[in-house]
Structure 1
Amino acid sequence: MILVTGATGTIGSEVVRQLAERGEKVRALTRDLSKMKAPNGVEVTRGDYLDPASVDAALSGATAVFLVGVLGPDDADRDRALVAQAKAAGVRRIVKLSAIGTGDPAIGRVGSWHLPGEQAVRESELEWTVLRPSSFASNTLSWAEPIRAGKPVPNMTGDGLQGVIDPRDVSEVAVEALLSARHSGHTYTLTGPETISVPDQATILGEVLGRPVDTVDLTPDESCAQLTEWGMDAAYVEGVMAGSAYVRMGGNAVVTEGVRQVLGRQPRTYREWAEDHRTAFGGA
């Protein structure tokens, strides 16, 4: 039995789908059962990290866990608790979803959010794998509304380049790490095959849709206001702003071989992701 936490999220939901397609026994953990559309054969259980008993119940009988515990600056203790609970439950393998740049002091405090969890899995004496993905291609789904309205999309990172990755590749790597011991003890930084900026992504998306997609550069104050409007608290806004500054300065202009090492193929490009999701932006 493989337990997938964060089962309704961008990566977790795809991990559930891919494992189910491969005929694996999967248990999906979610706080809200109404949001979970599980494939046939997947066991869905309600649980909350703040309710340890519900997590213990979900871990019962599990041999491997996909760990998504850090959603913001206040969640560091969740990873440690989840690792301890998994070990106590007899889990043998943990795959932790972290983030690119973790541990780099140039990012500021946001670069430390995942460190306690990474340390916990490495010290757990279990088989462990840490995944550090770059910026998700799917982040640009937040542009759908302005694009459909013919408005420019916001740009908080200027011409900063990133190894933007298709979330499906991250999920596929996670599945391989959950199923194979050969990835134990590895930390994989996962990127797409090229570094591209927000304006580059807008250009590609415009070509896919057959109409221009413009960008508008936001000042730091405008970025803060936008993030606050989206409902982020002050600590999370601070983290996003620090990450955006890091990208603008070129800190995330990284391409790795992580996907190829695990999957034996090149990662998908942003253009491939955009082609597959054109309808989300009003494309035919």
Structure 2
Amino acid sequence: MILVTGATGTIGSEVVRQLAARGEKVRALTRDPAGARLPSGVDTMRGHPRDRAAVEGAMAGAEAAFLVGVFGPDDAEYDRGLVEAARAAGVRRIVKLSTIGTGDPRLGVFGTWHLPGEEAVRASGLEWTVLRPSSFASNTLAWAQAVREGRPAPHLMSDGRQGVVDPRDVSEAAAAALGDPRHSGRTYTLTGPEKLRASEQAAILGEILGRQVELTDLTPEQRREQLLGAGLGETYADSLVAGARFIEEGGNAVVTEDVREVLGRPARTYREWAQDHKETFA
């Protein structure tokens, strides 16, 4: 039995699909089992990583677990709780979804979100793998409505270069690590094959759609206002603004070969992702 937390998220839902496709027995932890679009045969349990009782129930009988426990700056306790529950339930192997740059002091508070969970994973005594993906190609879905309407799309995370990664590669890496002990004790920084600016992603998307895709550049103050207007707290908004500054200063201009090492093939490009999702923008 493999437990997947965050089972309806960008990464978790694809991890569930891949595990189920290869015949694994999968349990999905989700807040809405009835509304979750999961493959047939997947065992679903209601709950959220912040609900310790639900997590403990979901861990029972699992041999491996995919841990998604950070949704904001205040989730360190719940991230550690996932590891504690896994160890208490006798889970043998854990794979934690973290993020690129974790622990980098230049990121300020944003760089500390995943540190307690990573530390708990490494100290757990279990077989563990940590995945640190770069910026997801799917983040550009936030532009979709504006692109469909033919107006400039606001971009919240600056125009610095990033090793943009296809989330499908992250999910495949997670599925591989859940089933193969050779990945134990490893921290993988997962990136795409090239460093791209947001403006370059927009140009690629425009080529695929056959029309120009424009972005609106925001000042740090405008970014903060938009984030607060979206309902994020001040700590969360300030952390993301700091993250945008880190990207703008070149801190996330990183490309690795870790996707190739885990999957035995090159990482997908942003162009491949955009081609596969062009209907969303059309």
Q: TM-score range by the shorter chain?
A: over 0.9
Answer with 255-264 or 48-57: which moved more. Answer: 48-57
Question: Which amino acid in the other structure matches residue 154 of structure 1?
Answer: P
| Mapped contact 2:162–2:252 kept (Cα < 8 A) | yes
Any conservation in 2 of the 1:159–1:199 contact (CA below 8 Å)?
Answer: yes
SS of the aligned residue for 1:28 comes to strand
Select between 244-253 and 36-45 the one with higher mean Cα deviation: 36-45
Which residue is 1:94 aligned to? 94
Quote the residue 2:214 is aligned against.
214
Q: Which amino acid aligns with 2:196?
A: I
Deviation at 1:157, TM superposition (A): 4.1
Work out the CA distance in 2 between the residues paired with 1:195 and 1:225.
28
8 Å contact from structure 1 (residues 8, 35) kept in 2: no
Partner of 1:196 in structure 2?
A: 196
Task: From the superposition, tell whether residues 131 and 204 of structure 1 become closer, same or farther in structure 2 (CA, over 3 Å).
Answer: same
- Which residue of structure 2 aligns with residue 250 of structure 1? 250
1:103 matched to 2:140? The reply is: no
2:79 aligns to what SS in structure 1? helix
Counterpart in the other structure of 1:37:
37
Distance 2:101 2:175 in 1: 22
Take 1:113 and 1:50, find their aligned partners in 2: how far apart are those partners?
Answer: 15
- Paired-residue identity, %: 64
**Counterpart position of 1:129:** 129
1:164 is aligned with what amino acid?
V
| AA matched with 1:272 | E
Q: Counterpart in 2 of 1:15?
A: 15
2:26 aligned partner, one-letter code? V
1:281 aligns with 2:259: no
Q: 1:195 touches 1:255 (CA, 8 Å); kept in 2? A: yes
Indicate the larger mover: 215-224 or 166-175: 215-224
Deviation at 1:33, TM superposition (A): 2.1
Relative to structure 2, which stretch is displaced further, 49-58 or 134-143?
A: 49-58
Structure 2: distance between partners of 1:185 and 1:258: 14
5 Å-filtered alignment, 1:1-284, equals 1-282=1-282
The letter of the residue matching 1:90 is G
> For residues 157 and 117 of structure 1, what CA distance do their matches in structure 2 show?
25
3-state SS of paired residue (2:66):
strand
3-state SS of paired residue (1:10): coil
Give the letter aligned to residue 76 of structure 1.
A
- Cα deviation for residue 226 of structure 1 reads 1.5
Q: Over aligned residue pairs, what C-alpha RMSD do you find?
A: 1.0
Query: Aligned letter for 2:180?
Result: S
Deviations 1:131-184 (A, max 9, x none): 000000000001011101111112344431000000000000000000000000
Aligned partner of 1:131: which letter?
Answer: L
Equivalent residue of 2:11, what SS?
helix
Provide the TM-score with structure 1 as the length reference.
0.97
In the TM superposition, structure 1's runs of 4+ consecutive aligned residues that sit over 6 Å from their partners are none
The Cα offsets for residues 82-112 of structure 1, whole Å up to 9 and x where unpaired, read as 1111101000000000000000000110100
**Greater CA drift, 52-61 or 206-215:** 52-61
Unaligned runs of 5+ in 2: none
Q: Distance in 2 between matches of 1:266 and 1:79?
A: 31
Q: How many residues align?
A: 282
Q: CA deviation at 1:51?
A: 2.8
**Higher mean displacement: 32-41 or 11-20:** 32-41
Q: Deviations over 1:191-226 (max 9, x none)?
A: 000000010010000001111001111011111121
Question: What is the CA distance between 1:233 and its match in structure 2?
Answer: 1.6
How far apart, CA to CA, are the structure 2 residues paired with 1:32 and 1:233?
25
TM-score of the superposed pair, with normalisation by structure 2? 0.98
